Structure 1
Amino acid sequence: MGTTTNGALWALAHAERAALAEDLAALEPGQWRHQTLCGRWDVEQVVAHLIAAASLNQWQWLRSMLGARFNPGVHNQRRLQDHVGATPEETLDRFRTIVYSTTAPSSHTAAYLGEVLVHSQDIRLPLGLGRVPSVEALTPVAEFFARHDFAVDSKSNAAGFELRADDGPFAAGDGDLVTGTTLALVMAIAGRQAYLEDLEGPGVPALAARISGR
């Protein structure tokens, strides 16, 4: 993966968290209950999940996973509930406290940057919020996602395709071509079907079938 340093990756994650906090501050109360691209979770639940992800070190994460019998869904739901506030405003205040956190269960910093980027768009796209992450932040995530299944099955989704960004330097893989913005490629291989319409190339139908489970 590229030459982006660990410190630079954390700086990008902090900037993207701060940008999301700014967007969240402008939401109307009902928007916190809006469905996201992240399964059954609404906006507040995704924010609580991001707080949890930035609050667990390696041993806390391991204890939680042991308690969940290594079921990530159970682990995520339990830790999410730990961080939902009594009101959306309280949840947002809690999110602001972790904007500059570097706490994480492992040293895979690009993955944690990716978590912030993907979940931010999980919130923004359904709400029609126009802000998008920078290509600078997206590129190391795209490179990591193309090479690893970590939290999302991105490597498995990308396998057998040539992925090529049309707005930045990202390129990976061999096979049928799939092109688009770095954001659309990241979100698609993270399993977000809503971004498939932003991609082009002969590999798009097969990628769509793969991430939809057909």
Structure 2
Amino acid sequence: MTPAANDVWPIVHAERRRLVADLLDLPIAQWRTPSLCPGWDVHDVLAHVVDTARTGRLMFVRELLRARFNFDRANDTGVAREKRTDPQDTVRTLDAVVSLTRTPPANLATRLVEAFVHGEDIRRPLGVAGTYPAGAVADALAYQLRTPVSFGGGRERAAGLRMVDSSTGQAWGEAGADVVEGAGIDLLLAVSGRPVPTERLTGRGAARLLDATG
């Protein structure tokens, strides 16, 4: 199921604005903090957020062709293109593109995944608290659960498990399967391959899901 554009874009734009606000006064020494995204520091992730905000369908296809269909290479090229010498210039660039509605040829739920997961990629290592709309997090999680890891999802990581959002009671997966319970954003991060503190996830399936993020 594809969420409606009128439901997705206001949330994405709000998340971009919040990220700008969170990073405006970040001390220069903290910009090299390793993010939750392997191999990237928080400045790299911010540059990627700028790049994805700018990238529409045609540009996505063109850059993927140039990268010989290597998604990681295409992403690294985008980071290099958008990463400014002064990190605050990168923040200001994001501020300038906050309201864009460009997207690659993909389900619009990917825009929610990008906004929430990359927001936490940056915020958690910096100790910055983030709050996210539960319904939109649920849409992002549902998308990740049905999308293969090879396409940026987490279907294989969650195979045979039942995810339960401790905040709302919403659940995904077959009844009777080993349960993983936690806040929706923590479930989303774990399914997306990000490290989550062990105390944030409970249930018989928690250890298996956490192992799958490594």
TM range (shorter): over 0.9
1:157 corresponds in structure 2 to: 157
- Structure 1: segments with no counterpart, 5+ residues: none
Within 2, Cα distance between the matches of 1:158 and 1:88? 36
Local SS of the residue matching 2:179:
strand
1:127 corresponds in structure 2 to: 126
| 1:162–1:171 contact (8 Å) kept in structure 2 | yes
- Structure 2: segments with no counterpart, 5+ residues: none
1:138 corresponds in structure 2 to: 137
2:103 corresponds in structure 1 to: 104
Displacement, 1:81? 0.8
Displacement, 1:34? 1.0
Closer, same or farther in 2 for the Cα pair 1:200/1:5, shift >3 Å? same
- After TM superposition, the runs of 4+ consecutive aligned structure 1 residues lying more than 4 A away are none
Displacement, 1:5? 2.5
How many residues end up aligned between the 2 structures?
A: 211
Question: TM-score, structure 1 length as denominator?
Answer: 0.92
Local SS of the residue matching 2:54:
coil
1:81 corresponds in structure 2 to: 80
Question: TM-score, structure 2 length as denominator?
Answer: 0.92
1:170 corresponds in structure 2 to: 170
Displacement, 1:169? 5.0
Closer, same or farther in 2 for the Cα pair 1:184/1:195, shift >3 Å? farther
Within 2, Cα distance between the matches of 1:118 and 1:77? 17
Identity %: 30
Displacement, 1:191? 0.6
Matches within 5 A, 1:1-214: 1=1, 4-149=3-148, 151-168=151-168, 170-174=170-174, 175-212=177-214
Local SS of the residue matching 2:44:
helix
AA aligned to 2:199 is E
| 2:145–2:153 contact (8 Å) kept in structure 1 | no
Local SS of the residue matching 1:8:
helix
Superposition RMSD on alpha carbons, in Å?
1.6
AA aligned to 1:200 is T
Within 2, Cα distance between the matches of 1:113 and 1:86? 28
